[in-house]
Amino acid sequence: MSEKAEIKTKIRDVVEGQREELIRLSLNIHDNPELGLQEVKAQKWLCDYLLQNKLQVERGVGGLATAFRAIYGEGRPRIALLAEYDALPQMGHGCGHNVIAAAAAGAGVASKIVVDDYGGSVVVLGSPAEEAFGGKIDMIGAGVFEDIDAVMMVHPDTQNVVAVSALACVSLDVKFWGKAAHAAASPEEGINALEALLLAFNAINSLRQHIRKDSRIHGIITEGGMVPNVVPAYSSARFMLRATDIDYLDTLRNKVLACFEGASLSSGARLQYGWGEKVYAPMKSNYSLACLFGNNLRLLGREIDDSSVKLNFGSTDMGNVSQIVPSIHPEVCIAPPEVSLHTPEFALAAASEEGHEGLLDAAKAMAMTVADILTQPEILKRIKQDFADEKQFAK
């Protein structure tokens, strides 16, 4: 057996040796769902596990109390494995982040033998609040990724893929200020803030016919009046705009804003608006890194459709990471195709046998990819060259 094959066998053995602990970690997080920035239990369990396994743990990084960094080794290259562990409101782990967290922790521990033999270092980064606040964007701002050479995380899903797309995304909060009046006795005195919002919704619905088909605009009314016999003096809404690149996202911003401005003009209600501070960037899946990971997943017996990148119309803060460091965001299958993410059914899958096998395979494949990089210096050169050339998987 070659040295490289041998170390990969050892990695698989290490993860198998941690099987029960990793599953317990995953189930503990699953059974105690915590929303973004409140993930104190998940952070504690993950940090305790990593500390017990001799990684150097720092809690609260990048200005986020529930983030953490666990390092093994000191040298470069330094490979980061990202853990997410936030849950969804009312649905627990309907996005399966318990699997992501346990997989990253397991991969960190299994990578130690590679660091011991070949140098370099591995860091498990706990990144809170993926769903709602984009915690990785804060961590980028705080310089957490500055000394990192490559980043991996694995998301559970309904298929095995080495690369997914993710759209750039920005949110928009709008308010219309009108004038209250008796809706029956003196409607002519009123300025209807709800009607202003409805006009804007209709304008946006018309606009939707004439934007790129891979863009998305969606919104909800958060306030639309108190009682029907009073002309609503105030209304508010929250929108999200998504596009495949930041340039077109800016084009969409102008078009959508014009819909609100037009509604303000025709209704007489004053418009106030604010763009979300955090702009999610599209995902760039590093070509060489994705291929390595795919090969390792295949060695574990998983069938992968790697002919194309999976089109995903969601957005993730991992996109922002992928803009500054070579990154991948592959997926392991833990549920049948008819189950969709962000559902109670997917939450069940995240605690099922398939969920456990997904987490163990994700941990093994990530650590085996760490082994590829740390044992062969020319591989990292290739990964960095792909990043410089914008060579993305299936593009």
- Which residues form the interface with Zn ion (CB under 5 A)? 95
Closest to 108 measured CA to CA, from 145, 78, 64, 146: 78
Handedness of CA 257, 260, 263, 268 (dihedral sign): negative
Supply the minimum distance, in Å, between the C-beta of residue 246 and Zn ion: 21
Residue nearest to Zn ion (CB): 95
Nearer to Zn ion, 97 or 175 (CB): 97
Query: What per-residue string of b and e applies to 97-108 under the rule 16 or more CB within 10 Å gives b?
Result: bbbbbbbbbbbb
Nearer to Zn ion, 36 or 178 (CB): 36
User: Token pair for residue 384?
Assistant: 């960095």
Closest to 134 measured CA to CA, from 159, 98, 171, 187: 171
Question: If 0-12 CB within 10 Å is exposed, 13-18 middle and 19+ buried, where does residue 82 land?
Answer: buried
User: Token pair for residue 129?
Assistant: 């609040």
Supply the minimum distance, in Å, between the C-beta of residue 128 and Zn ion: 13
Nearer to Zn ion, 129 or 363 (CB): 129
Supply the minimum distance, in Å, between the C-beta of residue 209 and Zn ion: 29
Supply the minimum distance, in Å, between the C-beta of residue 79 and Zn ion: 21
Nearer to Zn ion, 130 or 372 (CB): 130
Nearer to Zn ion, 271 or 341 (CB): 341
Supply the minimum distance, in Å, between the C-beta of residue 207 and Zn ion: 27
Supply the minimum distance, in Å, between the C-beta of residue 155 and Zn ion: 6
Supply the minimum distance, in Å, between the C-beta of residue 199 and Zn ion: 32
Nearer to Zn ion, 346 or 387 (CB): 346
Supply the minimum distance, in Å, between the C-beta of residue 219 and Zn ion: 19
Query: Angle at which helices 19-31 and 97-110 pack, to 10 degrees?
Result: 150
Close Cβ partners of 86 (under 8 Å, ≥ 6 residues apart): 34, 35, 36, 37, 39, 97, 128, 129, 130, 131, 132, 135
Nearer to Zn ion, 271 or 279 (CB): 279
Nearer to Zn ion, 8 or 356 (CB): 356
Close Cβ partners of 217 (under 8 Å, ≥ 6 residues apart): 204, 207, 208, 211, 239, 240, 241, 242, 252, 256
Supply the minimum distance, in Å, between the C-beta of residue 30 and Zn ion: 13
Nearer to Zn ion, 271 or 351 (CB): 351
